[in-house]
């Protein structure tokens, strides 16, 4: 029986809303590994480092390209050491290549399904799904696909970050209809949602949206005690 804790964030500002609960689920002496992609990730690393250290992390490791190359052995070692995984934001296609389509994917799935919390920011939230909707705003070339396979932690749902900011309602509803998926979630940039074994148990911020295939979305606000284990 899997015991997955997924914290899906609309954008980086929501990290401060969830970090305390992430730490509570990461055990004693939390060890954080942040999965990054793209050349600019070192620019954002200090913010992640400060947020997690101030919240009580015993160590924070980063995985990302060095001189344009991702060291898979080093990445594996850092993922194996983690009691909390954060998949950061950026180019969703690049994240998928590095972490879903590579030899690292099985290790990531095994870690998350064993119970360590998974936090996904924007691209990281999208890739938590079995089938991923890549927002129009996130595509830089016409030949890039609209749908991609993800980690599969959310098997029957779609997730769309930057939902209000990118006017995602029509796009998400079209995707849900085309993919025959009944459960779709929109996450605004300062919001996050905590799913335990696929069930929404807690929202953070003001704007987490449950989106039907037709009609208006429903704003969901759900407070719950943190689930340990």
More confident residue, 206 or 220: 220
> What's the rounded Cα separation, in Å, for the pair 197 and 174?
26
Task: State the average pLDDT over residues 104-123.
Answer: 97
- pLDDT value of residue 46: 95
Helix 41-54 and helix 15-25, axial crossing angle in degrees, nearest 10: 60
pLDDT tens-digit series, residues 128-172: 999 999 998 888 777 889 999 999 999 999 999 999 999 999 999
What pTM value is reported for the model? 0.95
- pLDDT value of residue 67: 86
Task: State the average pLDDT over residues 192-206.
Answer: 94
pLDDT over threshold 70, residue 2 = no
pLDDT tens-digit series, residues 23-39: 999 999 999 999 999 99
| H helix runs in 1-71, sequence order | 15-25, 41-54
Domains and CATH numbers, the chain: 5-220 (3.40.50.880)
C-beta of residue 60 within 8 angstroms of C-beta of residue 84: no
pLDDT over threshold 80, residue 224 = no
- pLDDT value of residue 138: 84
Task: State the average pLDDT over residues 173-194.
Answer: 96
């Amino acid at each position: 029986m899997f015991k997955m804790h997924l914290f899906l964030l609309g954008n980086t500002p929501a990290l401060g809303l969830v970090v305390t609960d992430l730490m509570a689920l990461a055990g004693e002496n939390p060890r954080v590994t942040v999965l990054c992609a793209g050349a600019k990730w070192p620019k954002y690393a200090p913010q992640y480092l400060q947020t997690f250290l101030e919240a009580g992390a015993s160590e924070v490791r980063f995985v990302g390209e060095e001189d344009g190359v991702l060291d898979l052995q080093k990445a594996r070692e850092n993922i194996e050491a983690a009691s909390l995984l954060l998949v950061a934001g950026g180019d969703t296609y690049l994240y998928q290549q590095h972490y879903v389509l590579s030899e690292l994917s099985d290790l990531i799935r095994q870690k998350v399904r064993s119970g360590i919390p998974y936090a996904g920011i924007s691209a990281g939230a999208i890739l938590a799904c079995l089938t991923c909707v890549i927002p129009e705003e996130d595509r830089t070339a016409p030949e890039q696909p609209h749908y991609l396979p993800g980690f599969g932690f959310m098997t029957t749902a779609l997730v769309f970050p930057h939902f209000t900011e990118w006017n995602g309602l029509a796009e998400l509803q079209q995707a849900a209809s085309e993919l025959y998926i009944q459960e779709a979630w929109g996450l605004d940039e300062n919001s996050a949602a905590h799913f335990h074994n696929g069930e929404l148990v807690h929202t953070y911020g003001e704007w987490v949206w449950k989106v039907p295939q037709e009609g208006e979305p429903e704003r969901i606000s759900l407070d719950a005690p943190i689930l340990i284990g």
